[in-house]
Amino acid sequence: MSTAIIYASTYGSTRKIAQILNQKISDSTLVDIKKEKIDPNVFDTIILGSSIYIGQVDKHLKNFISMNMDVLKSKRVGIYLCCGFEENVQTYLDTNFDKELVNRAVIMTMGGEMDVSKMSFAHKMITRMVQKSEQGRNREVVLHPEKADEFLKQMFSQTE
């Protein structure tokens, strides 16, 4: 039983979760979809991980999903998202993913990280604006690697 963990990360939090999942799964392959190509046909299970920027999943991951939609729908699939506004997850799923894929996938948010010192100028500006907004004020954005166990439990206890 082999698993591909296919992720897209900008500042590393989605990568951290991918690495944790990779350590916990015995026969898994880690794929940075921004840099690598992968044939999903050869895996039994596919985990897709992305961060959210301005409501959007990374475009490389989106492209991968749309190019391989039929294959993905024939596999065991998990989707995890790293984001600051976890309460918006349903909107992120509705706007970024195929409905059928979402319905058959295990879905989990893993929190996020907002390290302004790592960010590009444009991302710093957006972050400052969001931190002043009603939704962003006093918000602590924390990564939740401990949710990896629950995610994997749900994924691998699913009946085929």
Residues lying near ligand FMN in the complex (CB under 6 A) are found at: 9-14, 51-55, 82-85, 88, 112-114, 119, 123, 126-127, 141
Least separation in angstroms between residue 151's CB and ligand FMN is 16
Question: In whole angstroms, how close is the CB of 85 to ligand FMN at the nearest point?
Answer: 3
For residue 114, the minimal CB distance to ligand FMN (Å) is 5
Compute the least distance from the CB of residue 41 to ligand FMN, in Å. 27
The residues pairing with 143 across neighbouring beta strands, listed in sequence order, are: 111
Task: Report the distance separating Cα 61 and Cα 119, nearest Å.
Answer: 21
Paired with 82 in beta bridges are: 51
> Which residue number, 9 or 28, has a Cβ lying nearer to ligand FMN?
9
Minimal CB distance to ligand FMN: which residue? 112
If the CB atoms of residues 19 and 127 are measured against ligand FMN, the closer one turns out to be 127
Distances (CA, A) of 23 to 19, 29, 60, 73, 88: 6, 10, 24, 25, 29
Provide the strand spans (E) within 26-66. 28-32, 45-53, 56-57
Which of residues 23 and 135 has its CB atom nearest to ligand FMN in the complex? 135
Burial (CB count <10 Å: 0-12, 13-18, 19+), residue 142: exposed
10 Å CB burial of residue 10 (0-12, 13-18, 19+) is middle
In the complex, the smallest distance separating the C-beta of residue 160 from ligand FMN, rounded to whole angstroms, is 31
Smaller CB separation from ligand FMN, 73 or 118: 118
Query: How many helices and strands, by DSSP H and E, does the chain display?
Result: 7, 6
Comparison of 101 and 126: residue with beta carbon closer to ligand FMN: 126
